[in-house]
Amino acid sequence: MSLRMHLVCSFLSFILLMSVGCVGLYASAIPEESVDILTRTGQAMADVAEAVKPAVVNISSTRTERIEESPLAPFLKDPYFKRFFGDMFREPYLPRKRKAVSLGSGVIVSPDGYILTNHHVIKNADKIKVILSDHREFDGKVIGTDPKTDLAVIKIEAQDLPTISWGDSDSLRVGEIVIAIGNPYRLGHTVTMGIVSAVGRANVGIADYEDFIQTDAAINPGNSGGALVNARGELVGINTAIFSTTGGYQGIGFAIPSNMARRVMKSLIEKGRVIRGWLGVSIQPITPELARQFHLEEERGSLVADVFEGSPAEKGGIMRGDVIIEYDGKRVDEPYYLRNMVASTPPGTEVEIKVIRDGRIETLWVTIGELPSEAREERGAGMYENALRGVSVQELTPELYKEMGIPERIRGVIISDIEPDSPAATRLRKDDVILEINRKAISSVEEYEAVVSKIKKDEDILLLIYRNGSTLFVTVSGER
């Protein structure tokens, strides 16, 4: 070997030894204690996921959707039209129905087959299929749904099923580690981890009663109805929605707190519907201007804009202009806090309410009643066999006037939901305000019911509605 080759080999050997030494140096720079902590943390998360995954199921619901006929439909049976065009327009444009499939997740809450999921996962479903973690399949039966919280309970015929223990969502703190389990993008049981980003999120626009847990644990389409668990493997939330501009994960997901879900589930199973407490007031938030006008030291509480006649609030001495700052020993910062607390109070319960009136704090005792609008809204959605079948309406509240930017001169009822197979589905929209029906003014749910209940199945309906800042007439054809 020449001297040059010997020097080259020696240099390469030196470089190789140095590299190995550096690798060892960098590897040994990680303290064994740190490696041990991370290893034990990973093992702990794996243990939690392994324990709770069997109680999370995949849900596939099938529903029938009606496809509207083409404007050319009247011509399709014309012999002259067929003579020139044949069957060119027949198949795509004839009225028909199609099957739509919705995918989601659910949580087994009892060994005998009760499953908690989202209302929107099984809404209008003709058939529900539930797939367990061990790949067994069952048909699901709807026990009850609550669109106001986007929750639903279904049941499968099975025994000795795995469940998740309930956690106390009220004790959740921002920064806690949570795990989301569900069925995103048909991928089956998927586990993601994150932290609690915020609690008590409202005014998101997902449901009527909102008190969401916000998390950065990845929640994607298909996760709806799945479990959000804490580090102890306890159910603290039902995954419901994501905030996204792309349709995918962007670090903001929302879950319904387990305490709210548990109350709704219990009521649906035992009563077949959700029974909510009712105070009987219209409330609004405190703005800086209102705080000055009412001489308030803090911009918090719920300002009573109106008290309904004969309501629990009127009987308990609550007056227009009162600012409710405490309910049953709990601080009231925003109107939605009060609304959620009243709704979760069993009717017949006497509660202590503190208000600021004329600059002084007064204590009142009010016996909570049962929310009367539940039955009215259910009837508005499904009891009519005419062109407004499947249209749900509700009263216009001060909150809706403000949230929707509706002028005070507008009086009517607002559409809260329209079923896809409703004859009015192509003519009306959610959030339309119905002002008149067949030239009769509508200012309440009762007036809406009184008019709609007299309309025949094949009768065409003329409506005056408010939409996007203007009023317009709309006709809905009866079913013939």
Q: What is the pLDDT of residues 427-452, one digit of tens each?
A: 899 899 999 998 889 888 878 888 88
Pick the catalytic residue from 102, 224, 267, 416. Answer: 224
Contact 142, 103 (CB under 8 A): no
Q: Would you say the CATH fold of 374-476 matches that of 277-370?
A: yes
Helix or strand or coil: residue 47? helix
Superfamily of domain 374-476: PDZ domain (2.30.42.10)
What does the pLDDT look like over 124-135, one tens digit per residue? 888 889 989 888
What does the pLDDT look like over 178-224, one tens digit per residue? 988 887 766 667 788 888 888 887 766 667 777 788 888 777 777 78
Domain ranges of the chain: 3-51, 52-274, 277-370, 374-476
Pick the catalytic residue from 102, 105, 150, 282. Answer: 150
Which sign does the torsion angle of CA 254, 256, 257, 258 carry? negative
Q: Given a cut of 60, is residue 83 above it in pLDDT?
A: no
Overall fold of domain 277-370: Pdz3 Domain (2.30.42)
Least confident of 53-67, 101-115, 139-153, 406-420: 53-67
- Which residue pairs, CB below 8 angstroms and at least 24 apart, start in 131-140? 131/57, 131/58, 131/59, 131/60, 132/54, 132/57, 132/161, 133/53, 133/54, 133/56, 133/57, 133/162, 133/189, 134/54, 138/113, 140/59, 140/61, 140/115
**CB atoms closer than 10 angstroms to residue 19:** 10
For residue 128, the cross-strand partners are 61
Q: How many residues does the chain have?
A: 480
150 classed as catalytic: yes
| Greatest CA separation for the chain | 110
Q: Given a cut of 90, is residue 22 above it in pLDDT?
A: no
Least confident of 19-28, 38-47, 116-125, 358-367: 19-28
Domain boundaries 52-274, CATH class: mainly beta
| Mean pLDDT calculated for residue range 217-232 | 82
Pick the catalytic residue from 102, 120, 197, 392. Answer: 120
- Looking at residue 376, its pLDDT comes to 40
- Looking at residue 134, its pLDDT comes to 86
**CB atoms closer than 10 angstroms to residue 200:** 16
User: Residue 125 to residues 61, 118, 294: CA-CA distances in angstroms?
Assistant: 6, 13, 50
CA 284 to chain CA centroid, nearest Å? 22
pTM as predicted? 0.64
120 classed as catalytic: yes
Contact 325, 355 (CB under 8 A): yes
- Looking at residue 76, its pLDDT comes to 54
In this structure, what DSSP letter does residue 328 have? T
User: Residue 447 to residues 205, 225, 249, 382, 398: CA-CA distances in angstroms?
Assistant: 27, 36, 44, 16, 19
What does the pLDDT look like over 116-126, one tens digit per residue? 999 888 888 88
328 classed as catalytic: no
Q: Given a cut of 90, is residue 367 above it in pLDDT?
A: yes
